């Protein structure tokens, strides 16, 4: 092969490799106000409506995870609930709060869906069915987050600290949805050893997790292992949305915030 042919071949290979390297899907890191956003499109477009854009940050400031994902019954995966307008009209799912009657912080919560729908309702529908639309909101993320303690990732809010300081007070029950129950007993925290040498142990706070989630949100659907140490979790699993990743890739602080979990001091 002559020199010219060799150079041409090398150039072709270089071109192809650079092209191939761009074909992977790069996941854009969400901005603080986008983190936790869920787009729901089970039936919206079938009904000639834009998909629903659900902002977790507004809702998690007012309710614990358990209220919505246990008592109200929202699935843990986007689109997993299969919410229909009729469900909301009957006072379930979004309609559990968004019924046009409940008053939160002095404001009447707008009604999620109603039947019949008339032209005057269009703006109300758009408050949720807003994907691709510029819909004014009653809540401004930057105004809301300004007084709250900061974090590096996710919503850039340290939600746990915000609650500790009394800056947010997420409700633990929702009238009409939550079954009357006792306060949660305090759970013991425990350490988990990572497989990678030199990586600090994970301090898993059972206490923090049960306060917001209760027990049945995690067991047995997300964490099926009964005995500590019987289920082996990998970071790959977490990244794929299993185990810790069920929340810590979507709503709770993300997996990139290593020190939040790998927090046990390493002693030489």
Partner 1 sequence: MSQPIMIVLFISAGLAALGGTRAIGGPSLRTAQSAPVKESWQKEFEDTCSKTQDAMTFSQEELTSLISRCDDLQPQIEKLDETRKKVYLRRLKMCRGLYAYVLDSKRNEKK
Stretch that binds partner 1, among 1-9, 84-92, 143-151, 255-263 (CB under 8 A): 84-92
Give kind and range of the element (H or E) at residue 246: helix 245-248
Q: Does residue 91 belong to the site contacting partner 1 (CB under 8 A)?
A: yes
Residue 220 near partner 1 by CB under 8 A:
yes
Considering the rule CB under 8 A, would residue 39 count as an interface residue with partner 1? no
Q: E-assigned strands of 34-184? A: 38-40, 52-54, 103-104, 107-108
Stretch that binds partner 1, among 2-10, 14-22, 217-225, 252-260 (CB under 8 A): 217-225
Using rule CB under 8 A, residue 93 touches partner 1: yes
Q: By C-alpha distance, which of 38, 29, 36, 246 is closest to 141?
A: 36
Residue 84 interacts with partner 1 (CB under 8 A): yes or no: yes
Binding range to partner 1, per CB under 8 A, among 23-31, 143-151, 181-189, 246-254 = 181-189
Looking at 73, 194, 200, 241, which residue binds partner 1 (CB under 8 A)? 73
DSSP-derived pairing of the beta strands 107-108 and 190-192: unpaired
Judged by CB under 8 A, does residue 206 bind partner 1?
no
- SS3 state at 145: helix
The single residue among 216, 231, 234, 240 that binds partner 1, judged by CB under 8 A, is 216
When the beta carbons of 177 and 255 are compared against partner 1, the nearer one is: 177
Buried b (16+ CB within 10 A) or exposed e, 3-26: eeeeeeeeeeeeeeeeeeeeeeee
Residue 219 within binding range of partner 1, rule CB under 8 A: yes
> Does the CA dihedral 153-159-161-162 come out positive or negative?
positive
Contact flag: residue 189 with partner 1 (CB under 8 A): no
**Does 47 contact partner 1 by CB under 8 A?**
no
| CB-based contact 198:212 (threshold 8 Å) | no
**HSE toward the beta carbon, residue 97, CA cutoff 13 A:** 19
Q: How far is the CB of 12 from partner 1 (least distance, A)?
A: 56
Distance between CA 117 and CA 253 in Å, rounded?
A: 39
Task: Provide the binding-site residues for partner 1, judged by CB under 8 A.
Answer: 70-73, 75, 82, 84, 86-87, 89-93, 99, 101, 175-176, 179-185, 210, 214-217, 219-221, 224, 226-227
């Amino acid at each position: 092969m002559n020199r010219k042919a060799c150079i041409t071949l090398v150039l072709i290979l270089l071109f192809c490799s650079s092209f191939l390297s761009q074909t992977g899907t790069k996941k854009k890191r969400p901005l603080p106000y986008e983190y936790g956003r869920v787009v729901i499109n089970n039936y919206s477009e079938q009904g000639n409506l834009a998909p629903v854009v659900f902002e977790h940050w507004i809702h998690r400031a007012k309710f614990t995870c358990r209220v919505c994902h246990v008592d109200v019954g929202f699935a843990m995966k986007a689109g997993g609930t299969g919410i229909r307008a009729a469900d909301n009209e009957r006072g379930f799912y979004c309609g559990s709060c968004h019924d046009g009657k409940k008053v939160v912080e002095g404001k009447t919560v707008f009604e999620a869906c109603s039947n019949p729908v008339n032209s005057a309702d269009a703006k109300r529908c758009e408050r949720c069915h807003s994907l691709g639309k510029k819909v004014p909101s009653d809540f401004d993320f930057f105004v809301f987050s300004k007084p709250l303690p900061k974090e590096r990732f996710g919503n850039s809010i340290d939600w746990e600290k915000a609650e500790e300081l009394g800056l947010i007070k997420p409700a633990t029950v929702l009238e009409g949805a939550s079954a009357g129950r006792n306060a949660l007993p305090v759970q013991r925290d425990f350490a988990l050893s990572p497989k990678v040498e030199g990586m600090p142990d994970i301090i898993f706070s059972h206490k923090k997790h049960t306060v917001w989630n209760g027990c049945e949100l995690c067991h047995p659907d997300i964490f099926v292992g009964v005995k500590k140490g019987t289920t082996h979790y990998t970071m790959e699993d977490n990244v794929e949305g299993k185990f810790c990743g069920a929340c810590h890739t979507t709503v709770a602080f993300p997996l990139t915030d290593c020190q939040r979990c790998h927090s046990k001091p390493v002693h030489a």
